[in-house]
Amino acid sequence: MLEEIRIGVYVCHCGSNIADKVDCPAVAAYASQLPHVVVARDYQYMCSDPGQELIRQDIKELKLNRVVVASCSPRMHEPTFRKVCESAGLNGYLYEMANIREHCSWVTEDPQQATEKAKALVRAAVARVVHHEPLFERWAPVNPNILVVGGGIAGIEAALKVAAAGNKVWLVEKSPSIGGNMARLDKTFPTLDCSACILTPKMVSVAQDENITLLTYAEVEQVEGYVGNFRVTIRKKARSVDLNKCTGCGRCQEKCPVEVPSEFEAGLAMRKAIYTPFPQAVPNKPAIDREHCRHFTRTKGKCRVCFNVCQVGAIDYDQEDELVTYECGAIIVATGYGLFDPSVGPQWGYGRYDDVITAIQFERLVNASGPTKGKVVCKDGRVPERIAILHCIGSRDENYHPYCSRICCMASLKLAHLAREKTGAEVYNFYIDLRAFGKGYEEFYNRILEEGVNFIRGKGAEVTQKDGRLVVRGEDTLLGRYREVPVDLVILNTALEPQPDATKVAQIFGIQRSADGFFLESHPKLEPLKTATDGVFIAGCCQGPKDIPDSVAQGAGAAAEALSLATAGKVKISPVVASIDPDLCSGCRMCLPLCPYGAISFNEEKKVAEVNETLCKGCGTCAASCGSGALNVRHFTRNQILTQIEEVLAV
């Protein structure tokens, strides 16, 4: 005999978040009339301990075998109430949630309409839950190996932390060396410690750590599998240099006849076609840039200078890209940021005037190992007497990026200090607001003020030339006056933006992006490192602009996330997967090519399709196209959805 269906309905006030618009007692009263409903209650906070206890008691005392909670989004608290049911001995899938907060009270102006809508949503949930079946989560083992993508400070920190725990980690870096943007900085605010001095020891530790396998000049091409059990395909780009033979002596780079603007020096100096990006690079061994190398471009193999000067025979022109696979349980993506190109705005004169440079170029200019050996000079060699630093170039600007890039205020203060220290020049900072938000930042700002830097409150609107001298124009909003400041050097502090290939990277790893284009975290406050794909974490500036302390904290945090998966050794796999009724399957095989995971196979003996539940992720695309109705997705069955549609329309 069929078991009698006994449903409990719980309408949450969420303090006033729901109750302000939805008449919760009325919704509960309405629910109590619905078929199979044994009890319907409304309560202040269903997710609180007493709220949860209410459900538990009812399940036991009233012998409930179905539960509906009408509260927030299931994306928020579905797991909470599923656990509540389970702790009272009820299968967690015999419960359904009605979203009367995000989809109802918060978006509806009129309380009466909100209440009606809430009734409809609850009615649909009650009707749906009748058709729910108990489902059982499975456990899958977790591969303890971890992958880190991006070797900036965030990725480096993550890799070192994972390795310190004893787990194996592969660190994949796109460029020929790790270090990222931090390697290009001179000093770091607010303490002014030298960037290389604090970064290079960490880079060296990466190279020396037995648990870390470093793949530079490499990119991830494909990610298959699921949390705990990823299979990653990595393309090791042909470096044309055998890293095992190369000693890093540098002769090849001396002799190479081809010069290319150096990315590391932000175009202020040239590098060779065979190059190590910077002196402290890890690995400290070169790569041939085939796009520019004469051997590969112009002379059809005739230029062999590097090959000839190499004493250990490390140059290998025939090297090909290599695809390697890596199996791991968790992935940390730390691919960092790109920088806004100010030449798109002619008003700033970048690209037009030699002495308009970007902040990252200035970082290289003041750096002792930079193109001028640390001398701050104009293009013609003069030491600048007056320098302007323009904040927020491309940030907080509706025409480019509406967001604040966070670090520019502090970086501009730092550059003002360095400029004065190196040149004694008068320095003018054009700013909109000064945001000194971090530990020690306000103190740093005060210090720079005392050093005699001039602050002009107003965006540097235009850079022009007058009598052979650069002039920065802008409105001083404090004085209410238009200013023209003649200077010798202009520094544009450009916005941090998503990497140019962020779209592709997001797709490879199944990461979503926020409106600004940076990678989207699962929850802005409570899950800053998780993504929509279980087992894939993000850290550092790929999630949004941030300073080094925050990038490091996120790197370490992401390592902890990955390690907690690895240490648990097993992970729950959702039972929401496709299932096939062999009696109905006509064996047409339409579903086979539809599955992106290859989870459906054809049983030649029985002439029916079969689902591999470990591979299936439950999207339901197969079910939607099954002509004979044999395919279904558990917890999203045809019957459940159709019932829900029918009932949501009944109010």
Contact residues for ligand FAD (CB under 6 A)? 149-155, 172-175, 180-182, 185, 188-189, 219, 334-337, 359-360, 363, 407, 411, 414, 499, 501, 505, 540-541, 546-549, 551
Residue 74 beta carbon to other proteins: minimum distance, rounded to whole angstroms:
7
Residue 520 beta carbon to ligand FAD: minimum distance, rounded to whole angstroms:
16
Residue 336 beta carbon to other proteins: minimum distance, rounded to whole angstroms:
20
The 41-80 site mask, x for binding other proteins (CB under 8 A), equals --------------------------------xxx-----
Indicate the angle between helix axes 548-568 and 153-164, nearest 10 degrees: 30
Is residue 592 a contact residue for other proteins (CB under 8 A)?
A: no
DSSP string, 517-558: SSBPPSBTTTBSSB-SSTTEEE-GGGSS---HHHHHHHHHHH
Q: Which does 180 bind (CB under 5 to 8 A by kind): other proteins, ligand FAD, none?
A: ligand FAD
CA distance 420 to 350: 22
Structure tokens, 127: 């009707």
Q: Which does 99 bind (CB under 5 to 8 A by kind): ligand FAD, other proteins, none?
A: other proteins
Is residue 18 a contact residue for other proteins (CB under 8 A)?
A: no
The residues pairing with 333 across neighbouring beta strands, listed in sequence order, are 149, 538
* From candidates 259, 270, 624, 639, binder to other proteins by CB under 8 A: 624
H/E run at residue 197: helix 195-208
Specify the residue for token string 């949450």: 12
Q: Which does 110 bind (CB under 5 to 8 A by kind): ligand FAD, other proteins, none?
A: other proteins
Residue 41 beta carbon to other proteins: minimum distance, rounded to whole angstroms:
23
Q: Of 221 and 646, which has the nearer Cβ to other proteins? A: 646
**Sign of the C-alpha dihedral, residues 203, 204, 207, 210?**
negative
Is residue 156 within 8 A of residue 191, CB to CB? The reply is no
Q: Of 253 and 614, which has the nearer Cβ to other proteins? A: 614
Is residue 232 within 8 A of residue 508, CB to CB? The reply is no
**Beta strands 386-393; 631-633: pairing state:** unpaired
Q: Of 127 and 314, which has the nearer Cβ to other proteins? A: 127
**Sign of the C-alpha dihedral, residues 204, 206, 210, 215?**
negative
How many C-beta atoms lie closer than 10 Å to residue 508's C-beta? 18
Q: Which does 121 bind (CB under 5 to 8 A by kind): other proteins, ligand FAD, none?
A: other proteins
Is residue 158 within 8 A of residue 334, CB to CB? The reply is yes
* From candidates 77, 117, 168, 459, binder to other proteins by CB under 8 A: 117
3-class DSSP state for residue 452? coil
The 466-485 site mask, x for binding other proteins (CB under 8 A), equals --------------------
CA distance 246 to 31: 75
Question: What DSSP state is assigned to residue 315?
Answer: B
Q: Of 239 and 635, which has the nearer Cβ to other proteins? A: 635
Residue ranges in 549-588 that form contacts with other proteins under rule CB under 8 A: 576
The residues pairing with 337 across neighbouring beta strands, listed in sequence order, are 498
Residue 104 beta carbon to other proteins: minimum distance, rounded to whole angstroms:
7
H/E run at residue 356: strand 356-358
Is residue 636 a contact residue for other proteins (CB under 8 A)?
A: yes
The residues pairing with 356 across neighbouring beta strands, listed in sequence order, are 490
Residue ranges in 499-538 that form contacts with other proteins under rule CB under 8 A: 503, 506-507, 510, 512-515, 520, 532-533
Is residue 239 within 8 A of residue 287, CB to CB? The reply is yes
Residue 333 beta carbon to ligand FAD: minimum distance, rounded to whole angstroms:
8
Q: Which does 109 bind (CB under 5 to 8 A by kind): ligand FAD, other proteins, none?
A: other proteins
* From candidates 114, 315, 419, 496, binder to other proteins by CB under 8 A: 114
How many C-beta atoms lie closer than 10 Å to residue 582's C-beta? 13
CA of 471: how far to CAs of 387, 417, 428, 466, 602, in Å? 10, 21, 12, 7, 74
Q: Of 430 and 509, which has the nearer Cβ to other proteins? A: 509
Residue 64 beta carbon to ligand FAD: minimum distance, rounded to whole angstroms:
49
Structure tokens, 143: 């591969």
Where does this chain bind other proteins (CB under 8 A)? 73-75, 99, 101-104, 106-110, 113-114, 116-117, 120-121, 124, 503, 506-507, 510, 512-515, 520, 532-533, 576, 594, 596, 617-621, 623-625, 633, 636, 638, 641-642, 644-646, 648-650
